């Protein structure tokens, strides 16, 4: 294990921040404070954080409609994110993007994406930039099991292979494309799909931060060293519905309660680091309290923040027009 | 200064910008050609030879041939533009937008707005359009109204070799995503084109003819037809102003309205299908802003609301002709 | 001297292919003096008067008002009264029968501009006419090019060798102007003369070109055979900076048209083609930088920096200044800022582009000065 104590604390803090952020958005959305469509990442934290812990400032990611977790994992400011989700002027995107288009290019986060399968071609482009300008950067496409069936994704596998791009495709398979089970909607296997395009594919337990971290480290090194693209098939679970307001009638009775009990990435992480005596429970509790305070502040500040004004409607369409 | 074809003018613009700025790359199907094949390298230089010679000068790293996979490579061009390159991606025929439009209108066109102004996407999509090649319904359309409809995109339609070079260099240097439409019938047209790099600003119409009786607004190849008509009618005492807006987005509405105010008569010539095209857009603009100046109803010269037919006899009936434009001008002039 | 003289469609500028007869000023059968206005011709670029190069009788108007004719086409016939009508008819028939061949020959032998190396600067120039003696060298002003002399160069070339050149940063010359000051520009002019093997030239400069000619002549008196300063810079401090800055800024047709109208007493002379041609020039890479550098050096702080008029007494050559009375760019009052030995001509009804608006008079003044 190559992770330092600081790395472990950071990993836990990021995962906890995502969880707290999403749980809180869930609550606030239910109270009517948040407009629009919101898709929550709670339950999938180990994937975003396990992958992004291997990335640095040179590297880019493209996300999905379920993008809050990837944002936080790539270093975006949770307070500015919360304001964005509330549609406020000081939000990360000035209140013009919202949950589905949350982005911070200065952090290498190329955006959540309202179009399923929208990200992989963009990531090929980011990787092309890295390759052409020789920055040493790597680009990561997060895509869901639903997005894995889009032509854009499959075309991107091929393009990344034939252009030999430094790309990692991370298929986050939470078992459902909206209401439809991936067991039904995905033909063949993700791993074999990757192999069919001439790139390595690895199946990963997405509840286990350490498993994701290790697999991602290999994939990122593979890309960075010029060997081209690879794919991680990360199996995980979402704690909430497809979007907020989804009654999840398609899920089995007790399914969510059971996975929260047995397969919660944060619980698994705590258990592992405690058993291995890598971190003390007290430290983790301290992080929990700090993160809770941060998110409390984020929500309070977001509620109080001014919305954009009429003068903001027409700006930011073009650089010049 | 020398005589150059429309094709050469665009090729020269690409080459000069690639020399000037290492961030400029080109990509597309067979942009060089022959990749991985046993025969000639740079076999095609694009399906109609526009990018010929770029690969030998700039190498495969900056002249990227792609699989036939428009979603992936147009999307890659968008992603590359958002992360520091200035890609010029060739969508061989504009009709192929159907398989990659998401990357253009939901991604490239919206990044800047959705991301609160923080994204810059200096992308050019070069694409061939227009009827007259007997290329039938899926290789002949004029789909620029669809791009024009999307906020965040700029849409350029050069009407001659001089215009093509200056507008292409402007498109490459522009920080917004630009759709650059090349009429496939015009590639061998020639005129004097400066050897040096130069830019033509977007959003400023060109008046290719000036006259006091009728304003003709036309795009792309239709500008040439309109010029022919204006020259013919001038001899009969009907003098026309021909407005080539150069870009449909931004659209130089001021110049169009000024010309209509001067002449009081308007003919709009648009090779795009008639529902929600540039002709209807400009007619609505003039009806709303300059109704009082009109001395006659506006005439629109467009193809019918049909796909582009294959049979040469049918295609010739489909395309607006100088004769149809002339009839419209005579009608609004009351002559 | 033959008895019959044709009057033909002139070629004003390299791009002119045809012109339209706007109006005849002389009725058939009238006596005409050399230099009298015959008719107005409109091109896509400009409308100007055709002057008679001979004295005589206007026997026949061949071109009707409104007719559009190619360069070289017969417009009128001049001949003495004793020439019979039948001979005139035969002349016209013969001219027209041979016109296509003659036009093709003229086209083939038409002067072409060439690029020369002037001390490391690529300079575009056009030579017309072949004659012994020092040639005339025409130097345009800020933002102009050799085509500014389109009403002067062909006429002067009937009796002289005449060069018109594009200054650095202008026309088709190199857009690298270095410091962009009078020293750089006049050094380049002298280097161009070196390359052309011209020891001494009759220098005629318009506006900034006047200051450059003066600087060159003062630095190397032997190189100037005479000096004609047309609406010249370098004689006083005043300059209309709204024009200079407006010209540098103008990137769009409307702005450019407005700016250019200040150059003429008759703003109607600014045509679509004139505007379009200047926009084409201004769109070239490097032009904006070149114009900004030159204007920053020679018009720093809104004043002319190189005032040389008081030094003209150092030159022992024929000199004159010519101004349009209605010049809005450099005041005609500057015509007085020269030593008494320099003859000053202020022409009514002309603005800053006096050599275009009053081409005949300016050409005659240049001929007169050279003849001295």
pLDDT tens digits for range A207-220: 999 999 999 999 99
pLDDT digits (tens, 9 = 90+) for B64-73: 999 999 999 9
Tell me the backbone φ, ψ of residue A7, rounded to 5 degrees. Answer: -60, -45
> What CATH number did the domain enclosing C63 receive?
2.40.50.100
Residue C1 clears pLDDT 50, i.e. is over it? no
When scoring B198, B240, B261 by the number of chain C Cβ atoms within 10 A, the one with the most, hence best to mutate, is B198
Looking at chain A, which residue has its C-alpha nearest residue B202? A321
Of A96, A152, A316, the CB nearest to B71: A152
**Domains in chain B: boundaries:** 2-193, 206-333
Interface contact flag, B204 C253, Cβ < 8 Å: yes
C38 conformational bin, left if phi > 0, alpha if psi -120 to 50, beta if neither: alpha
Q: Are residues C142 and C51 both part of a single domain?
A: no
Distance from C-alpha of B23 to C-alpha of C74, rounded to nearest angstrom: 57
Q: Are residues C273 and C126 both part of a single domain?
A: yes
What angle is formed at CA B28 by the lines to CA B23 and CA B29, rounded to 5 degrees?
155
Q: Which of residues 194-233 of B touch A (CB under 8 A)?
A: 203
pLDDT digits (tens, 9 = 90+) for A267-304: 999 999 999 999 999 999 999 999 999 999 999 999 99
Subunits with 3+ C-beta pairs closer than 8 A to C = B
Q: How far is A253 from chain B (nearest CA, A)?
A: 38
Q: Are residues C81 and C184 both part of a single domain?
A: no
Residue B98 clears pLDDT 70, i.e. is over it? yes
Distance from C-alpha of B161 to C-alpha of B168, rounded to nearest angstrom: 10
Residue B143 clears pLDDT 50, i.e. is over it? yes
Tell me which chain C residues have a C-beta less than 8 angstroms from the C-beta of B200: 283
CA max distance for chain C: 67
Nearest alpha carbon to residue C167 among C201, C198, C199, C205: C205
Tell me which chain B residues have a C-beta less than 8 angstroms from the C-beta of A106: 118
Instruction: Show the tokens assigned to C117.
Output: 């190396």
Query: Does C17 touch chain B if contact means CB atoms closer than 8 Å?
Result: no
Looking at chain B, which residue has its C-alpha nearest residue C288? B198
Domain span at residue C138?
Answer: 114-371
Confidence of residue C2 (pLDDT cuts 50, 70, 90): low
Q: Are residues C95 and C146 both part of a single domain?
A: no
Distance from C-alpha of A77 to C-alpha of A65, rounded to nearest angstrom: 18
Domain span at residue A25?
Answer: 5-312
Instruction: Show the tokens assigned to C178.
Output: 């270095």
- Mean pLDDT for chain A? 97
Of B199, B200, B207, the CB nearest to C272: B207
Total domains in chain C come to: 2
Residue C311, judged by CB atoms within 10 A of its CB (0-12, 13-18, 19+), counts as middle
Residue A219 lies in a domain: yes
pLDDT digits (tens, 9 = 90+) for C237-260: 999 999 999 999 998 888 999 999
Residue A319 lies in a domain: no
Query: What average pLDDT does this structure show over A82-95?
Result: 97
Angle between helix C253-261 and helix C272-283 axes, rounded to 10 deg: 110
- Mean pLDDT for chain B? 97
Tell me the backbone φ, ψ of residue A308, rounded to 5 degrees. Answer: -65, 155
Q: How many CB pairs under 8 A join B and C?
A: 26
Residue C329 clears pLDDT 50, i.e. is over it? yes
Tell me which chain B residues have a C-beta less than 8 angstroms from the C-beta of A320: 174-176
Query: Does C66 touch chain B if contact means CB atoms closer than 8 Å?
Result: no
Distance from C-alpha of A134 to C-alpha of A140, rounded to nearest angstrom: 17
**For the domain with range B206-333, which CATH number is right: 3.10.180.10, 3.30.70.580, 3.40.50.300, 3.40.50.920?**
3.40.50.920
Task: Give the per-residue pLDDT at C207.
Answer: 97
Interface contact flag, B197 C285, Cβ < 8 Å: yes
Tell me the backbone φ, ψ of residue A290, rounded to 5 degrees. Answer: -65, -40
Nearest alpha carbon to residue C215 among C295, C294, C149, C314: C314
Contact C160, C135 (CB under 8 A): yes
Which secondary-structure segment (H or E) carries B191?
strand B190-193
Can you tell me which residue has the tokens 């659209």? Answer: B251
> What CATH number did the domain enclosing A81 receive?
3.40.50.970
Distance from C-alpha of B275 to C-alpha of B11, rounded to nearest angstrom: 34
> What CATH number did the domain enclosing C310 receive?
3.40.50.1820
- Across the beta sheet with C162-165, the strand order is C114-118, C121-128, C162-165, C136-139, C201-206, C224-230, C319-324, C343-347
Chains A and C touch (3+ CB pairs under 8 A): no
What does the DSSP 8-state code read for residue A21?
H
Q: Give the list of residues 6+ apart from residue A261 with CB closer than 8 angstroms, or none.
A: none
Percent of chain A with pLDDT over 90: 99
pTM surpassing 0.90? yes
Tell me which chain C residues have a C-beta less than 8 angstroms from the C-beta of B206: 276
User: Do the strands B24-28 and B63-65 form a parallel or antiparallel pair, or are they unpaired?
Assistant: parallel
Residue C369 clears pLDDT 70, i.e. is over it? yes
Q: Are residues C227 and C318 both part of a single domain?
A: yes
Q: Which of residues 149-188 of B touch A (CB under 8 A)?
A: 151-152, 154, 174-176
Residue A96 lies in a domain: yes
Query: Does B177 touch chain C if contact means CB atoms closer than 8 Å?
Result: no
Nearest alpha carbon to residue C354 among C137, C139, C151: C151
Tell me the backbone φ, ψ of residue A188, rounded to 5 degrees. Answer: 70, -160
Q: How far is A113 from chain B (nearest CA, A)?
A: 9
Residue C81, judged by CB atoms within 10 A of its CB (0-12, 13-18, 19+), counts as exposed
Query: What average pLDDT does this structure show over B78-84?
Result: 98
Q: How far is B292 from chain C (nearest CA, A)?
A: 24
Q: How far is B248 from chain C (nearest CA, A)?
A: 17
Residue A308 lies in a domain: yes
Tell me which chain C residues have a C-beta less than 8 angstroms from the C-beta of B194: 280, 284
Which secondary-structure segment (H or E) carries A296?
helix A281-304
Nearest alpha carbon to residue B308 among B322, B325, B320: B320
Query: Does B166 touch chain C if contact means CB atoms closer than 8 Å?
Result: yes
Percent of chain B with pLDDT over 70: 100
Nearest alpha carbon to residue A170 among A51, A71, A57: A51
Q: Give the dihedral of Cα atoms B157, B159, B162, B167; nearest 10 deg.
A: -10
Contact B106, A118 (CB under 8 A): yes
Distance from C-alpha of A292 to C-alpha of C272, rounded to nearest angstrom: 69
Residue C54 clears pLDDT 90, i.e. is over it? no
Residue A321 lies in a domain: no
Query: Does B74 touch chain A if contact means CB atoms closer than 8 Å?
Result: yes
Q: Are residues C127 and C67 both part of a single domain?
A: no
Instruction: Show the tokens assigned to A297.
Output: 């502040």
Residue A6 clears pLDDT 60, i.e. is over it? yes
Q: Which of residues 278-297 of C touch B (CB under 8 A)?
A: 280, 283-286
Tell me which chain B residues have a C-beta less than 8 angstroms from the C-beta of A123: 79
Tell me which chain A residues have a C-beta less than 8 angstroms from the C-beta of B87: 125
Q: Give the list of residues 6+ apart from residue A142 with CB closer than 8 angstroms, or none.
A: A47, A48, A51, A61, A62, A63, A64, A67, A70, A119, A170, A172
Q: Which residues of B are catalytic?
A: 139
Distance from C-alpha of B302 to C-alpha of B324, rounded to nearest angstrom: 9
Of B67, B115, B176, the CB nearest to A103: B115
Tell me the backbone φ, ψ of residue B208, rounded to 5 degrees. Answer: -80, -20
Q: Are residues C247 and C129 both part of a single domain?
A: yes
Backbone CA torsion sign across A43, A45, A47, A50: negative
Q: What is B2-193's CATH topology?
A: Rossmann fold (3.40.50)
Chains A and B touch (3+ CB pairs under 8 A): yes
Interface contact flag, B115 A111, Cβ < 8 Å: yes
Residue at a domain's end among C82, C109, C136: C109
Q: Are residues C42 and C132 both part of a single domain?
A: no
When scoring B35, B37, B72, B254 by the number of chain A Cβ atoms within 10 A, the one with the most, hence best to mutate, is B72
Residue at a domain's end among C75, C109, C143: C109
How many other β-carbons are positioned within 10 Å of the β-carbon of residue A262? 11
Residue at a domain's end among C56, C77, C109: C109
Tell me which chain B residues have a C-beta less than 8 angstroms from the C-beta of C284: 194, 196-198
Residue A16 lies in a domain: yes
pLDDT digits (tens, 9 = 90+) for C92-122: 999 988 888 777 777 777 888 999 999 999 9
- Mean pLDDT for chain C? 92
Angle between helix B161-173 and helix B6-20 axes, rounded to 10 deg: 30
DSSP per position, C279-295: HHHHHBTTHHHHHHHHH
Interface contact flag, A159 B69, Cβ < 8 Å: yes
Instruction: Show the tokens assigned to B6.
Output: 């429309």
Query: Does B239 touch chain C if contact means CB atoms closer than 8 Å?
Result: no
Distance from C-alpha of B63 to C-alpha of C220, rounded to nearest angstrom: 54
Peptide bond connecting B250 to the previous residue in cis, omega within 30 degrees of 0: yes
Interface contact flag, B196 C286, Cβ < 8 Å: yes
Instruction: Show the tokens assigned to C151.
Output: 């009403």
Query: Does B28 touch chain A if contact means CB atoms closer than 8 Å?
Result: no
Q: Give the dihedral of Cα atoms C272, C275, C277, C280; nearest 10 deg.
A: -120
Q: How far is C145 from chain B (nearest CA, A)?
A: 15
Strand partners, B91: B127
Q: How far is B290 from chain A (nearest CA, A)?
A: 23
Nearest alpha carbon to residue B241 among B256, B222, B220: B256
Q: How far is B198 from chain C (nearest CA, A)?
A: 4
Tell me which chain B residues have a C-beta less than 8 angstroms from the C-beta of A110: 79, 82-83
Q: How far apart are the first and last CA of chain C?
A: 25
Beta strands (DSSP E) in C170-274 are 201-206, 224-230
Instruction: Show the tokens assigned to C328.
Output: 């809005």
Interface contact flag, C283 B207, Cβ < 8 Å: no
Tell me which chain B residues have a C-beta less than 8 angstroms from the C-beta of A92: 116
Contact B179, B144 (CB under 8 A): yes
Residue A69 clears pLDDT 50, i.e. is over it? yes
Query: Does C272 touch chain B if contact means CB atoms closer than 8 Å?
Result: yes
Half-sphere exposure at residue A112, Cβ-oriented, CA atoms within 13 angstroms: 29
Query: Does B207 touch chain C if contact means CB atoms closer than 8 Å?
Result: yes
What does the DSSP 8-state code read for residue A307?
P
Looking at chain A, which residue has its C-alpha nearest residue B73? A121
Total domains in chain A come to: 1
Of B162, B196, B210, the CB nearest to C285: B196
Query: Does B73 touch chain A if contact means CB atoms closer than 8 Å?
Result: yes
When scoring C256, C258, C280, C282 by the number of chain B Cβ atoms within 10 A, the one with the most, hence best to mutate, is C280
Cα–Cα separations (whole angstroms), residue A171 to A70, A112, A181, A231, C321: 13, 15, 15, 7, 82
Q: Give the list of residues 6+ apart from residue A265 with CB closer than 8 angstroms, or none.
A: A15, A43, A44, A45, A46, A206, A207, A208, A209, A236
pLDDT digits (tens, 9 = 90+) for B251-278: 999 999 999 999 999 999 999 999 999 9
Instruction: Show the tokens assigned to C145.
Output: 């090019």
Distance from C-alpha of B276 to C-alpha of B148, rounded to nearest angstrom: 10
Residue C30, judged by CB atoms within 10 A of its CB (0-12, 13-18, 19+), counts as exposed
Distance from C-alpha of C16 to C-alpha of C162, rounded to nearest angstrom: 19
Distance from C-alpha of C41 to C-alpha of C63, rounded to nearest angstrom: 11
Interface contact flag, C284 B194, Cβ < 8 Å: yes
Instruction: Show the tokens assigned to B321.
Output: 């002709």
């Amino acid at each position: 294990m190559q992770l330092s104590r600081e790395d472990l604390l950071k990993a836990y803090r990021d995962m906890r921040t995502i969880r707290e952020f999403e749980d809180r958005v869930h609550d606030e959305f239910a109270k009517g404070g948040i407009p629009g469509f919101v898709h929550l990442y709670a339950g999938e934290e180990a994937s975003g954080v396990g992958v992004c812990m291997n990335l640095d400032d040179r590297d880019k990611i493209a996300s999905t409609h379920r993008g809050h977790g990837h944002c936080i994992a790539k270093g975006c400011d949770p307070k500015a994110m919360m304001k964005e989700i509330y549609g406020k002027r000081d939000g990360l995107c000035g209140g013009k993007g919202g949950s589905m288009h949350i982005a911070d290019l200065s952090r290498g986060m190329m955006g959540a994406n309202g179009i399923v399968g929208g990200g992989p071609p963009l990531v090929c482009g980011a990787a092309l930039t890295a390759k052409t300008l020789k920055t040493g950067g790597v680009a990561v496409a997060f895509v869901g099991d639903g997005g894995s069936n889009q032509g854009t994704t499959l075309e991107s596998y091929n393009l990344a292979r034939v252009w030999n791009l430094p790309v990692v495709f991370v298929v986050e398979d939470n078992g459902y494309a909206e209401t439809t089970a991936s067991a039904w909607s995905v033909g063949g296997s993700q791993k074999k799909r990757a192999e069919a395009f001439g790139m390595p594919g690895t199946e990963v337990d997405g509840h286990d931060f350490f498993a994701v971290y290790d697999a991602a480290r290999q994939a990122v090194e593979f890309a960075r060293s010029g060997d081209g693209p690879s794919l991680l098939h990360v199996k995980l679970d979402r704690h909430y519905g497809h979007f907020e307001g989804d009654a999840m009638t398609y899920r089995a009775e007790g399914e969510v309660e059971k996975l929260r009990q047995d397969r919660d990435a944060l619980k698994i992480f705590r258990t592992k680091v405690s058993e291995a005596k890598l971190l003390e429970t007290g430290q983790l509790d301290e992080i929990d309290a700090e993160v809770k305070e941060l998110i409390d502040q984020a929500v309070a500040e977001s509620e109080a923040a001014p919305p954009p004004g009429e003068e903001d409607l027409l700006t930011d369409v073009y650089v010049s027009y | 200064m020398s005589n150059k074809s429309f094709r050469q003018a665009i090729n020269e613009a690409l080459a000069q910008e690639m020399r000037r700025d290492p961030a400029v790359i080109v990509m597309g199907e067979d942009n060089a050609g022959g990749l991985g094949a046993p025969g000639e390298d740079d076999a095609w230089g694009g399906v109609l030879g526009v990018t010929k010679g770029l690969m030998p000068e700039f190498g495969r790293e900056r002249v990227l041939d792609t699989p036939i996979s428009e979603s992936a490579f147009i999307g890659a061009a968008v992603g590359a533009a958002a992360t520091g390159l200035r890609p010029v991606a060739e969508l061989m025929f504009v009709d192929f937008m159907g398989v990659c439009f998401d990357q253009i209108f939901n991604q490239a066109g919206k990044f800047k707005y959705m991301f609160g102004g923080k994204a810059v996407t200096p992308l050019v999509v070069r694409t061939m359009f227009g009827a007259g090649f007997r290329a039938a319904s899926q290789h002949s359309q004029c789909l620029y109204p669809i791009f024009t409809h999307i906020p965040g995109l700029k849409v350029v339609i050069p009407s001659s070799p001089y215009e093509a070079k200056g507008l292409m260099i402007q498109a490459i240097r522009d920080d917004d995503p630009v759709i650059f439409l090349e009429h496939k019938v015009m590639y061998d047209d020639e005129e004097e084109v400066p050897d040096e790099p130069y830019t033509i600003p977007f959003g400023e119409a060109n008046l290719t003819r000036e006259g006091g009786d009728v304003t003709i607004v036309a795009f792309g190849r239709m500008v040439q037809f309109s010029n022919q008509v204006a020259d013919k009618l001038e001899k009969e005492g009907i003098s026309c102003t021909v407005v080539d807006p150069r870009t449909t987005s931004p659209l130089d509405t001021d110049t169009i309205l000024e010309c209509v105010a001067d002449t009081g008569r308007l003919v709009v010539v648009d090779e795009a299908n008639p529902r929600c095209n540039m002709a209807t857009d400009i007619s609505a603009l003039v009806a709303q802003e300059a109704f009082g100046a009109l001395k006659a109803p506006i005439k629109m010269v467009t193809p019918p609301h049909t796909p582009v037919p294959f049979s040469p006899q049918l295609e010739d009936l489909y395309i607006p002709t100088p004769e149809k434009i002339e009839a419209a001008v005579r009608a609004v002039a009351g002559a | 001297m033959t008895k019959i003289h044709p009057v033909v469609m002139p070629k004003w500028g390299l791009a002119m292919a045809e012109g339209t007869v706007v109006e005849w000023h002389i009725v058939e059968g009238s006596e005409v003096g050399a230099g009298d206005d015959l008719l107005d011709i409109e091109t896509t670029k400009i409308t100007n008067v055709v002057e008679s190069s001979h004295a005589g009788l206007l026997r026949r108007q061949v071109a009707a008002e409104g007719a559009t004719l190619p360069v070289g086409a017969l417009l009128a016939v001049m001949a003495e009264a004793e020439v019979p009508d039948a001979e005139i008819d035969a002349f016209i028939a013969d001219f027209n029968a041979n016109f296509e061949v003659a036009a093709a020959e003229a086209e083939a032998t038409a002067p072409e501009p060439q690029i020369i190396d002037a001390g490391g600067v690529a300079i575009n120039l056009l030579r017309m006419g072949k004659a012994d003696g020092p040639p005339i060298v025409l130097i345009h002003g800020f933002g102009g090019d050799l085509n500014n002399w389109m009403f002067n160069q062909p006429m002067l070339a009937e009796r002289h060798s005449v060069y018109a050149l594009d200054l650095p940063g202008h026309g088709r010359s190199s857009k690298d102007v270095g410091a962009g000051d009078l020293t750089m520009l006049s050094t380049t002019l002298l280097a161009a003369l070196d390359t052309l093997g011209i020891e001494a030239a009759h220098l005629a400069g318009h506006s900034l070109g006047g200051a450059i000619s003066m600087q060159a002549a003062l630095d190397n008196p032997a190189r100037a055979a005479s000096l004609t300063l047309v609406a010249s810079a370098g004689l006083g401090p005043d300059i209309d900076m709204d024009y200079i800055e407006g010209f540098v800024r103008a990137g769009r047709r409307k702005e450019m048209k407005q700016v250019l109208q200040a150059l003429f007493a008759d703003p109607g002379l600014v045509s679509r083609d004139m505007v379009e041609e200047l926009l084409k020039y201004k769109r070239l890479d490097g032009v904006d930088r070149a114009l900004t550098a030159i204007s920053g050096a020679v018009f720093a702080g809104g004043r002319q920096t190189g005032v040389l008029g008081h030094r003209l007494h150092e030159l022992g050559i024929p000199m004159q200044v010519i101004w349009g009375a209605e010049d809005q760019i450099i005041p005609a009052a500057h015509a007085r800022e020269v030593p008494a030995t320099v003859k000053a001509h202020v022409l009514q009804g002309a603005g800053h582009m006096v050599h275009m608006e009053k081409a005949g008079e300016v050409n005659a003044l240049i001929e007169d000065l050279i003849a001295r």
